[in-house]
Homo-oligomer: A and B are copies of this chain.
């Protein structure tokens, strides 16, 4: 291997602790590159940052570029300052070839001699420079002539740092998820996490599926909203329909929840709930007219907790409150998620993955589902901040709510 195709990169941070250097070494070796560690200053104490300077060597310019592009994504930057490259979008909704596809980690670009932080960070989008700001943007919002970042130069990605606060739940759980964990203890930790986040003024978003109602956890969630612990609710048609079915007819999937008997003609109760909303015109009007007097949707309306109901192909109805266009629904979801500190995802793969796609990597995410593959899938893109819990929502959420009520006393 000749030495001509080489380049110096450097990287700062908790390189060992947060495995940043491990990933950079991985990438180089996966691509059959070589490296020399030219300098390595390890943080002496546990809070100190480390620094490394590497000379990367490749067998051709293309090979070198491939490796560099990959290590830049893992947090390395070129030793020689490089400006970001921009190119005009050729048409509305078309990105220039070679567009930079974003991660969900904090990203800065080096433009006109200084580093600028990218706003509104999300995964799998492109970056557009407007005046002196950079925006993370989805393809459908690109306008002809937008200056889009291309290539991988002049971009600095900051991988998330692993939180360091002694032994905590998130560490115990690891990135793996298992059903063999002490449920009641985990519920207590989640409760205290929610409580602390809220007391510090953090915004908490709940993303939920209809299993909340079917498993009988509806009252627990309604209580959390009433107590002010949930700032926004992101869901679909089914959660609202079954919540209203339960609130107005007392049934869930046709079973009388009070005494466990099957309701006569119970199969039509969710259709009747849908009809009752159409009759009044909206969920808010049901609350105003007192035809809806309890439940998750009721508490949202009463407490002015914003909710977004996104439509899906499988909807019955759907309710008049449902946003049936997905582009519009995604925009609303993104607005709601802005500045969220914690997102709690309950029993809905569709809405949870959609939400995950819109979140920067430093938002704390808690996923609860009884199906382990679902939790694993949601955690795959997870960061140190994500917590996957394999449990029965109908038993777990009441535990969390009880604990919060105890703390709040």
- A338 to B395 alpha-carbon distance, docked (Å): 34
> How many chain A residues touch the partner (CB < 8 A)?
124
Known: A260-B185, A312-B326. A25 touches B36 (CB 8 A): no
Chain B residues lying within 8 Å of A324, measured Cβ to Cβ, are 325-327
Cα A271 to Cα B264 in complex, Å, equals: 47
Q: Residue of B at shortest CB range from A189? A: B260
A201 interface residue (CB < 8 Å to B)? no
Among listed A75-83, A298-306, A372-380, interface-contacting one: A372-380
A46-B25, A167-B260, A262-B172 known; A183-B275 Cβ under 8 A: no
Whole-angstrom distance from the CB of A326 to the nearest CB of chain B? 4
On whether A22 and B25 interact (CB within 8 A), knowing A354-B314, A392-B392, A395-B184, the answer reads: no
Given A182-B260, A183-B216, output 12 extra A-B contacts at Cβ < 8 Å: A16-B25, A29-B166, A32-B166, A37-B44, A69-B265, A93-B278, A169-B260, A172-B255, A183-B394, A324-B326, A371-B373, A392-B395
**Cβ-defined contact, B313 with A180, below 8 A:** no
A187 proximity list for chain B (CB < 8 A): 395
Shortest Cβ distance from A328 into B: residue: B324
Interface residues of A in 373-404 (CB under 8 A from B): 373, 376-377, 380, 390-396, 398-399
Copy number of this protein in the oligomer? Answer: 4
Residues in chain B near residue A35, CB distance under 8 A: 45-46
Chain A residues at the B interface, C-beta cutoff of 8 Å = 16-17, 19, 21-22, 25-26, 28-32, 34-37, 40, 42-46, 52, 66, 69-70, 73, 90-91, 93-95, 97, 99-101, 103, 124, 126, 138-140, 152, 164, 166-169, 171-172, 176, 178-185, 187, 189, 211, 214-217, 236, 252-253, 255, 257, 260-262, 264-265, 267-268, 270-272, 274-275, 278-279, 310-318, 320, 324-327, 329-330, 333, 349-351, 353-354, 357, 370-373, 376-377, 380, 390-396, 398-399
- Tell me the complex Cα distance, A168–B42, Å: 30
Interface contact B215-A181, CB-CB below 8 Å: yes
Separation of A324 and B182 alpha carbons in the complex (Å): 29
Contacts of A66 in B (CB 8 A): 264-265
Q: How far is the CB of A248 from chain B (nearest CB, A)?
A: 13
Cα(A88)–Cα(B166), bound, Å:
37
Which chain B positions have C-beta within 8 A of A327?
A: 311, 324
How many whole Å from A136's CB to the nearest CB in chain B?
13
Are the C-beta atoms of A316 and B164 separated by less than 8 Å? Answer: no
Asked, given contacts A261-B167, A395-B183, A395-B184, whether A45 binds B40 with beta carbons under 8 Å apart, the answer is: no
Contact of A376 among B16, B267, B376 (CB under 8 A): B376
A179 proximity list for chain B (CB < 8 A): 211, 215, 370-371, 373, 392
Report the Cα distance A279→B318, complex, angstroms. Answer: 34
Closest to A264 in B: B66
